[in-house]
Amino acid sequence: MKKVAVVMGSDSDLPVVKRSIDILRQFGVPFEARVISAHRTPDTAAEFGKSAAAEGFGVIIAAAGKAAHLGGVLAAYTELPVVGLPIKSSTLDGMDSLLSMVQMPKGVPVATVAIDGAENAGILAVQILALSDEGLAGALREYRGKMAAEVTAKDSELQDNIDKL
Ligand code: RP5
């Protein structure tokens, strides 16, 4: 199975990024996590992007905050899909991070999830790998089935208690 690269711009992003890592672990997906800054360590970012496919990665999660160009820079150096995870790390509530990632000009996309949407970044990475892994696709179906069952149970409970509200 190909690996997921979980790249964050700063170790201050780790508390949020950890939730992506938890998802990857839950699905048994191999990953490597790195702190690489597009502006503080630009050469490392370029080198990582250039070599990512050859290193066995199938998808990159790029987590960054503020003027969050990490996803765009990595995407510029690789044809692998890049999932952007905007971090709410600024005085602008993460809107700056979100727009920096989601507003990529045409030609080099960054598939951006919600601000601090770390679980979805992990799930999207799993979905991408599941395109060529039937076992992973089955695990995703099971995951969704469990979510659906939880919602159905909550709905039943609401129906049972609606007159007591
Ligand atoms: C970004 O700047 C990082 O991704 C982080 O979200 C933000 C702040 O970084 P630190 O100043 O905490 O290292 O590059």
Residue 71: pLDDT band (50, 70, 90) is very high
- pLDDT tens digits along 89-148: 889 999 999 999 999 999 999 999 999 999 999 999 999 999 999 999 999 999 999 999
Burial of 82 (0-12, 13-18, 19+ CB in 10 A): buried
Please give the sequence-ordered ranges of beta strands (E in DSSP) within 17-140, or none if there are none. Answer: 31-35, 57-65, 82-87, 111-112
Q: What is the pLDDT of residue 75?
A: 98
Ligand 1 in reach of 36 Cβ (< 6 A) = no
* The ligand 1 atom nearest the CA atom of 9: 4
Q: What is the pLDDT of residue 59?
A: 98
19 C-alpha to ligand 1 centroid (Å) = 17
Burial of 6 (0-12, 13-18, 19+ CB in 10 A): buried
Q: What is the pLDDT of residue 64?
A: 98
Amino acid at 94: G
Mean pLDDT, all residues of the chain = 98
Ligand 1 in reach of 10 Cβ (< 6 A) = yes
Mean pLDDT over 51-68 rounds to: 98
Q: What is the pLDDT of residue 106?
A: 98
Ligand 1 in reach of 13 Cβ (< 6 A) = yes
User: What burial letters (b/e) apply to 114-143, b meaning 16+ CB within 10 Å?
Assistant: ebbbbebbbbbbbbbbbeebeebeebbeee
Burial of 26 (0-12, 13-18, 19+ CB in 10 A): middle
Q: What is the pLDDT of residue 157?
A: 98
79 C-alpha to ligand 1 centroid (Å) = 25
Distance from C-alpha of 158 to C-alpha of 100, rounded to nearest angstrom = 41
34 C-alpha to ligand 1 centroid (Å) = 14
